[in-house]
């Protein structure tokens, strides 16, 4: 308790970050089997830090905690996947990408139940992969690139991909940085697809979190899609803000994408949140 009070006194501005000691979001921890838990604290160790006085501490707020990732087991349909994730989201390290969000679980379950959507694909790419549940699942059926713009999230994602390859004997999952709207990164990733002509499956889950980011999201998806009639952008979506709900179809159309809701995909998720899956195709 004394350590918590010390951390609280050190920075009233950042006190939220220290909830990593005791908090996790039960609404997004879908299978709580922890397989590997690394140390959380830097420096002296827990006992030494708890004994230190405020004057002796000598660390900046951002140095108090190091980003951690636990190896946990998640399920999608009948499949079990071991992935690294954060035990809690810390604003200091922008770890929101290293926890499992509801739409990712929803889309992974849908793909596990409709594996025909993955069979015969040349390659898939996931936007805003986070912990990578959706993309890793897809990699069991086709070559898949998992992307994120956050360096820490990418490091965790790469650890998961390496572990996943060892566990499943598959080398089909790779990770890459992608900032939506970055033309150089988009062109590079498009060139990595078979034939350099783009991907016939683009995936995204819980990526519609900001109205201002919708245009770059749909534009990026459209540029990465190959031009085949079977090419599709599958979007796992959770309705959290009415202005984003209203803007989705229009922003997709601006990127020359059609967007329709997948039949019978609507689910009641956490609390009053409702989720569904959209499928987008390039306009002819």
pLDDT tens for 30-53 read 444 556 545 333 333 323 333 333
Nearest to 171 by CA among 139, 130, 134, 125: 139
Provide, rounded to the nearest whole percent, the portion of the chain with pLDDT above 90.
Answer: 59
pLDDT at 95 (0 to 100): 59
Q: Stretch 202-214: mean pLDDT, rounded? A: 96
Answer yes or no: is pLDDT of 99 > 80: yes
Q: For residues 172 and 125, which has the higher predicted lDDT (pLDDT)?
A: 125
Q: Are residues 71 and 111 in the same domain?
A: no
Q: Are residues 209 and 256 in the same domain?
A: yes
Q: Are residues 237 and 117 in the same domain?
A: yes
CA separation for the pair 74, 100 (Å, rounded): 9
- How would residue 266 be classed by pLDDT, with cut points 50, 70 and 90? very high
pLDDT at 35 (0 to 100): 60
pLDDT at 74 (0 to 100): 94
Q: Are residues 115 and 22 in the same domain?
A: no
CA separation for the pair 155, 111 (Å, rounded): 25
Q: Are residues 188 and 107 in the same domain?
A: yes
Q: Are residues 16 and 113 in the same domain?
A: no
What total number of domains does the chain contain? Answer: 2
**Which domain does 26 fall in, by range?**
2-79+81-86
Q: For residues 228 and 17, which has the higher predicted lDDT (pLDDT)?
A: 228
Residue labelled with tokens 């009639």: 229
Q: Are residues 167 and 198 in the same domain?
A: yes
Answer yes or no: is pLDDT of 96 > 80: no
Which of these ranges, 55-64, 68-77, 225-234, has the smallest mean pLDDT? 55-64
Q: Are residues 174 and 36 in the same domain?
A: no
Q: Are residues 155 and 275 in the same domain?
A: yes
Burial of 198 (0-12, 13-18, 19+ CB in 10 A): buried
pLDDT at 63 (0 to 100): 36
- How would residue 171 be classed by pLDDT, with cut points 50, 70 and 90? confident
Q: Which CATH number does the domain housing residue 170 bear? A: 3.40.50.150
Span 110-136, pLDDT tens digits: 999 999 999 999 999 999 999 999 999
Q: Which of 86, 116, 135 is the last residue of a domain?
A: 86
Answer yes or no: is pLDDT of 57 > 60: no
Q: Are residues 114 and 224 in the same domain?
A: yes
Nearest to 121 by CA among 147, 148, 140: 140
Answer yes or no: is pLDDT of 7 > 90: no
Which of these ranges, 55-64, 221-230, 240-249, 270-279, has the smallest mean pLDDT? 55-64
Nearest to 250 by CA among 204, 214, 282: 214
pLDDT at 29 (0 to 100): 36
Q: Say which residues have a Cβ less than 8 Å from residue 281's Cβ, sequence separation at least 6.
A: 229, 231, 232, 233, 257, 258
Residue 179: phi, psi to the nearest 5? -100, 115
Answer yes or no: is pLDDT of 250 > 50: yes
Q: Which of 63, 86, 109 is the last residue of a domain?
A: 86
Q: Are residues 271 and 209 in the same domain?
A: yes
pLDDT at 70 (0 to 100): 86
- Greatest mean pLDDT among 14-23, 45-54, 81-90, 142-151 lies in 142-151
Q: Are residues 150 and 255 in the same domain?
A: yes
- 147, β-bridge pairs: 176
Q: For residues 231 and 66, which has the higher predicted lDDT (pLDDT)?
A: 231
Q: Say which residues have a Cβ less than 8 Å from residue 63's Cβ, sequence separation at least 6.
A: 42
How many angstroms separate the Cα of 88 from the Cα of each of 228, 257, 266?
41, 35, 27
Mean pLDDT score of the chain: 79
Answer yes or no: is pLDDT of 55 > 60: no
- How would residue 71 be classed by pLDDT, with cut points 50, 70 and 90? very high
């Amino acid at each position: 308790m004394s350590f918590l009070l010390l951390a609280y006194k050190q920075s009233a501005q950042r006190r939220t970050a220290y909830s990593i000691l005791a908090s996790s979001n039960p609404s997004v921890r879908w299978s709580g089997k922890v397989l590997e838990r690394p140390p959380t604290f830097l420096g002296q160790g827990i006992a030494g830090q708890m004994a230190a006085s405020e004057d002796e501490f000598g660390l900046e707020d951002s140095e108090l905690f190091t980003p951690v990732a636990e190896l946990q087991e998640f399920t999608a349909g009948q499949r079990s996947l071991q992935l690294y994730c954060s035990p809690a989201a810390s604003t200091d390290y922008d770890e929101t990408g290293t926890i499992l969000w509801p739409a990712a679980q929803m889309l992974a379950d849908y793909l596990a139940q409709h594996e025909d959507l993955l069979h015969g694909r040349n390659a898939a790419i996931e936007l805003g992969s986070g912990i990578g549940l959706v993309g890793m699942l897809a990699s069991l059926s086709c070559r898949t690139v998992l992307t994120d713009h956050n360096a820490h999230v990418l490091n965790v994602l790469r650890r998961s991909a390496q572990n996943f390859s060892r566990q499943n004997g598959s080398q089909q999952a790779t990770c890459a940085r992608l900032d939506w709207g970055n033309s150089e990164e988009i062109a590079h990733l498009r060139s990595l697809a078979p034939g350099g002509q783009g991907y016939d499956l683009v995936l995204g889950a819980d990526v519609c979190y900001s109205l201002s980011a919708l245009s770059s999201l749909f534009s990026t998806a459209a540029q990465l899609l190959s031009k085949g009639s079977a090419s599709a952008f599958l979007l796992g979506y959770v309705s959290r803000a009415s202005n984003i709900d209203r803007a989705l179809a229009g922003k997709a159309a601006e990127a020359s994408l059609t967007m329709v809701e997948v039949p019978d995909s609507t689910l009641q998720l956490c609390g009053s949140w409702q989720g569904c899956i959209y499928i987008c195709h390039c306009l002819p």
